[in-house]
Amino acid sequence: MNGLFLRFYLRESQRHSGRLLWEWLLEQANGMGIRGGSAFRAMAGFGRHHQLHENHFFELAGTLTVEVEFIVTDEEAQQLLDLLEQEKIQAFYARIPASFGITATRIH
């Protein structure tokens, strides 16, 4: 099946409607019937301001990135992007063509 790899890059402390944005986004996608999504916390990174953020024990929480990703159809990707636009949520994203499926579909 062909579709898209849709990844959002969010600040770990970013909130929407009183919830962490990455949690809210996963919940919304699940409610839309999207087949799966995952969130991953970055160990280190930098963004458009070129300030390096690293995961240290004493560092203040909330400065690193959470990646939220989905493998979706074109229509599902557009639904998610439209939702963020409607909710006026500012988020950087990558939309990459993907081919996906399931291996070993026969149960032994």
Q: What does the pLDDT read at residue 105?
A: 74
Q: What does the pLDDT read at residue 102?
A: 87
Q: What is the mean pLDDT of residues 53-80?
A: 80
Asked if 21 and 91 touch (Cβ cutoff 8 Å), the reply is yes
Q: Which domain holds residue 6?
A: 2-99
Residue 107 is assigned to a structural domain of this protein: no
pLDDT, the chain, mean: 88
Q: What does the pLDDT read at residue 16?
A: 97
Residue 108 is assigned to a structural domain of this protein: no
Q: What does the pLDDT read at residue 56?
A: 57
The domain total for the chain is 1
Asked if 80 and 32 touch (Cβ cutoff 8 Å), the reply is yes
**pTM to 2 decimal places:** 0.82
- What would the pLDDT profile of 17-39 be if each residue is shown by its tens digit? 999 999 999 999 999 999 999 99
Q: What does the pLDDT read at residue 53?
A: 63
- Residue 86 above 70 pLDDT? yes
What CA–CA distance (Å, rounded) separates 100 from 103? 10
Number of neighbours of residue 92 by Cβ within 10 angstroms = 11
User: For the residues of 45-67, what is the DSSP string, one character each?
Assistant: E--TT---EE--TTSPTT-SEEE
Orientation of helix 74-86 relative to helix 21-31, angle to 10°: 130
Residue 95 is assigned to a structural domain of this protein: yes
Sort 61 into a burial class: Cβ within 10 Å, 0-12 / 13-18 / 19+.
exposed
Q: In CATH, what number is assigned to the domain containing residue 29?
A: 3.30.70.120
Residue 104 is assigned to a structural domain of this protein: no
Q: What does the pLDDT read at residue 108?
A: 62
